Amino acid sequence: MLKKLLVTSGILMSMAGYAAPKLTIYDDGLSCPNNCDAHVVFHQTLNGTKFAHSPNSTSAMPQRCAPNTDCRICFDDKAKECLITPYRGGGPSKNTFDLTPAFYSLWCGNPDIPTRLRSQCDILIKQSQTLVGRINCIAEPEHDKCQVMMRKAVKDKQQDSVIYQQCLEEGEEVFNLSRPEREKRIYGCAYRGF
């Protein structure tokens, strides 16, 4: 009985590795490649699988996508519902397609998209409806209720840009040697450690 349970458990665990990737949205500012155009980033372990492979290969014989080239990404376990989009390199945790706002803007208006992507688009559209009528300080930084906050954000960004550039010039490892923990940078200098 125990042997049967272990075998069944092993099969289920190996099947779990074939679950379609999660869909997330990201815009990391300076660290978002290619000015955050419509693209995907994903963990290196997803590259060259049935879910993410070169358009010149098949899901049965997948080849890796090279950064800054087109990549076929598939949204279902059978790799039948796919589309081709620019791949900008590694990024999020395993089994996740991290997609930019520009990607969703480009594809969500298209009626002929993979079912899971359509569902994600519908969720994002519904969530955005809760913002209708609210003040968007990023879009309207001069609005009376936004000016103080947005001026501080611009000042903070300018100050951080100097530190970010310094980290890039020195290299993350060297930069972090002389910094207290709260000021150390991670992920190619793009973030402060927490």
Domain boundaries, the chain: 22-130, 144-191
Examine the pLDDT at 40 and tell me if it is beyond 80: yes
Determine whether 131 is exposed, middle or buried from the number of CB atoms within 10 Å of its CB (0-12, 13-18, 19+). exposed
Query: Residue 54's CB: how many other CB atoms inside 10 A?
Result: 19
**Lowest-confidence range among 31-35, 73-77, 95-99, 126-130?**
31-35
Determine whether 82 is exposed, middle or buried from the number of CB atoms within 10 Å of its CB (0-12, 13-18, 19+). buried
Backbone angles phi, psi at 87, to 5 degrees: -105, 125
What pLDDT score does 11 carry? 33
What pLDDT score does 49 carry? 97
What tokens does 28 get? Answer: 């990391």
d(CA 86, CA 68): 6
What tokens does 141 get? Answer: 């930084």
Question: Confidence band (pLDDT; 50, 70, 90) for 154?
Answer: very high
Question: Confidence band (pLDDT; 50, 70, 90) for 38?
Answer: very high
What tokens does 131 get? Answer: 């913002």
What pLDDT score does 7 carry? 33
Whole-model pTM: value is 0.77
Question: Confidence band (pLDDT; 50, 70, 90) for 6?
Answer: very low
What pLDDT score does 194 carry? 63
Type of residue numbered 20: A
What tokens does 49 get? Answer: 């699988």
Average pLDDT (141-145) is 96
pLDDT per residue as tens digits for the range 76-118: 999 999 999 999 998 888 999 999 999 999 999 999 999 999 9
Across all residues in the chain, what is the average pLDDT? 88
Can you state the angle between helices 101-108 and 115-129, rounded to 10 degrees? 110
Check: CB of residue 71 under 8 Å from CB of residue 65. Answer: yes
What tokens does 3 get? Answer: 């042997």
